[in-house]
Structure 1
Amino acid sequence: MTDPSLARRRFLFGASALGAGALVVGCTSNEPANAGNQQQVAGGGGDNAQPGKEVTIGFSAPAADHGWIAAITKNAQAQADAFEDVTLKATEGTNDVNQQIAQVETLLNSDVDVLVILPHDGKALTSAGQQAMDQGIPVINLDRIFDSPLAYRTWIGGDNYRMGVNAGNYIAEQMKAKNISNPVIGEVAGMDNLPLTQERSKGFKDALQRQGFRVGPRVAAQFTAETGEAQTANLLQGNRKLDALWNHDDDQGIGVLAAIEAVNRSEFIMVGGAGSKNMMNNIKSDSGVVKATVLYSPSMASTAISLARLLGQNKGVADFAEHEIPASITTYSAVVTKENVDDYMDIGFDS
């Protein structure tokens, strides 16, 4: 990640709150602003930019065999490196549930102050999170959620349903702008057995239905370039005409584009998912079918580390009025297009 992007992501959690005098609502009497019933203003976390108590953060995530997961780990390390009062103890990524549980237990025995865990399987890692919380070690549960809120202090992750909604809304707008009244809209989903895929597909379907459209041909891949290519080839072979296509995941999107290019199809627009650099570059060049991608950004890992630091220092978020870190934070799935792609290039990840 570039230094400007780190600075931008740290702003909310690291910058000093605006002076109270600039935020207090004007009084209706002649009393001074600070007298009597003063309104609560942002500033619960104090000056979080200044170095504070040393905090050791344990970090555990799945194996970096996917561009998005690799970016999660890189972002976490980069954010920790930006704080001189933070030490990060990161385990080797693994897709073996039992091994990840063992790694978390090792972190618990290594004097960490806070844990950040992106579980390979949220249900299977719930007990590990609960064990940490029972020992008084707060847990930031990243993205894949534990079965019980008692297993984490704060959850931060993406909004899968709204990701589908925003993809559907963008496609619907484009179809209406082109005066296409009955478009053929395809979907290349991820793994159908995962709740996140189901939520994305439901949001997509709901958004299109509200606009008077429907989802047409649909296939499910496995979040890999290989399966993305194979499944998209099947979809294209069975449908000689498309008007739009939504692909859930930009990593598998490498294969999706390969399949499209192999048969030289260009009559439709394509929307990606997550926000990889190569998809953003395709959007910026505007030379192919890719016109947008809907964010599900791994920058959430940077925020997770910032939150873990504040928990370890017993601070709140500087720009919030509350003195405590929120129990949950849901990131927003912005739609990246040619018009705004430069604003988001700094959080694009390598597929």
Structure 2
Amino acid sequence: MPLSPQHATTRRGLLLGTAAVSATAFLAGCTSNEPKDKTPAADDRPASADTPGKHVTIGFAGPQADHGWLNAINDNAKKRAARYSDVTLEITEGSNDTAQQIGQIETLINKKVDVLVVLPADGKALTQVGLKAMRAGIPVVNLDRIFDTPQAYRCWIGGDNYGMGLNAGHYIGRKLKDKTDARVIELAGLDNLELTRQRTQGFDDALKNYPNIKKVARQAAEFTVESGQAKMAQLLQAQPKFDALWNHDDDQGVGALRAVEQAGRDDFLMVGGAGALAAFQAIEKDDGVLKATVLYPPTMAASAVDLARALAQGKGAAGLAEHEIPASVTLYSAVVDKTNVDQYMSTGFR
């Protein structure tokens, strides 16, 4: 599934990330208005008890929800908007075709929505339509996959792919720090995506801190259950002995775990990525190789709605001294294991 201004990103799915609960806590109150009612996941965060502000129409445009993480992005946006009596959410059908998504955003611009939230199928390809909205006086909240220029958005919010790999590497490093000649392998995502390269770089940089650990194999999959199973089967056949696996994506991790079960292997620990409900449940059950997952939080879409509402109402972010919302918000890639999985269970996506 994604580029911060520091680590720009794209994503087929952008994928699979929450620490959004902690990283976006200050955003929940940024609009200083009263929510309608309480819903799960990102909406477990507190909202201000002040009276509603002026009515805001938010246009929301994202890619096609062809992946669990992307579907969770849409759900989080809808649920967050539904909390507020002063918000109307105009949501597009979503498309991975850039021309079609541009057309959908232009329709929202023509409707004169108050603010736009855009998760582009391709940040570079959609930069011009972001610029068009900004020039029309419609502020843009750029969600995760970043536009080519900051002139195309007022605020960027998204995940940290480098941080995912870094935290996965340190988690594995701490688990194996006392093991001599430890061996690890990596099941990456699509290698043509910048986000995949960032996750691998973060992982490799973390492992430099553990001289007893060597990465002995890496295989790229395609963020799907089928590819995860096929590529993991190849890794298992080629590597009869290793101590840990870093898998970039919990969706492809479902397939990877099938391959592990079919091979009858239980002699290593596995760390996943993104924060799927199935991964949380497996971690809680603790009867297999999956011991942790590193978040890439889809709750960022809920926070994007908060930011959009604040922008349209001329408010800042609660908890910060500034009168304006930040120019960018990078979410933290928390590691979820058996010790804290209960805290994050409600944020898991299907």
Give TM class, smaller chain: 0.7 to 0.9
Q: Is the alpha carbon distance of 1:89 and 1:81 closer, same or farther for their aligned partners in structure 2, counting shifts above 3 Å?
A: same
Distance 1:8 1:214 in 2: 33
The answer to whether 1:342 aligns with 2:334 is: no
Match for residue 197 of structure 2? 198
CA RMSD of aligned residues (A): 2.0
TM superposition shift of 1:13: 3.1
Distance 1:196 1:9 in 2: 20
Matches within 5 A, 1:68-217: 68-176=69-177, 179-212=178-211, 213-217=213-217
Match for residue 278 of structure 2? 278
Larger radius of gyration: 1
- Same amino acid, percent of matched pairs: 56
Deviations 1:140-169 (A, max 9, x none): 000011111110000000011111000000
Deviation >6 Å, runs of 4+:
5-10
Deviations 1:170-225 (A, max 9, x none): 0010012xx31211101000011111100000000010012213322100011111
AA of the residue aligned to 1:209:
K
Partner-residue secondary structure (3-state), 2:81: helix
Q: Contact between 1:67 and 1:349, CA under 8 Å: does it hold in 2?
A: yes
Match for residue 12 of structure 1? 26
Match for residue 66 of structure 2? 65
Match for residue 249 of structure 2? 249
TM superposition shift of 1:290: 0.4
Structure 1 stretches lacking a partner, 5+ long: 18-46
Q: Contact between 1:9 and 1:303, CA under 8 Å: does it hold in 2?
A: no
Q: Contact between 1:14 and 1:49, CA under 8 Å: does it hold in 2?
A: no
Distance 2:147 2:274 in 1: 22
Q: Is the alpha carbon distance of 1:91 and 1:136 closer, same or farther for their aligned partners in structure 2, counting shifts above 3 Å?
A: same
TM superposition shift of 1:9: 8.9
Partner-residue secondary structure (3-state), 2:60: strand
Q: Is the alpha carbon distance of 1:76 and 1:275 closer, same or farther for their aligned partners in structure 2, counting shifts above 3 Å?
A: same
Q: Is the alpha carbon distance of 1:6 and 1:192 closer, same or farther for their aligned partners in structure 2, counting shifts above 3 Å?
A: closer
Deviations 1:117-148 (A, max 9, x none): 00011100111101101111000000011111
Structure 2 stretches lacking a partner, 5+ long: 1-18, 32-47
Q: Contact between 1:168 and 1:204, CA under 8 Å: does it hold in 2?
A: yes
Match for residue 227 of structure 1? 227
Match for residue 306 of structure 1? 306
Partner-residue secondary structure (3-state), 1:50: coil
Distance 1:244 1:306 in 2: 39
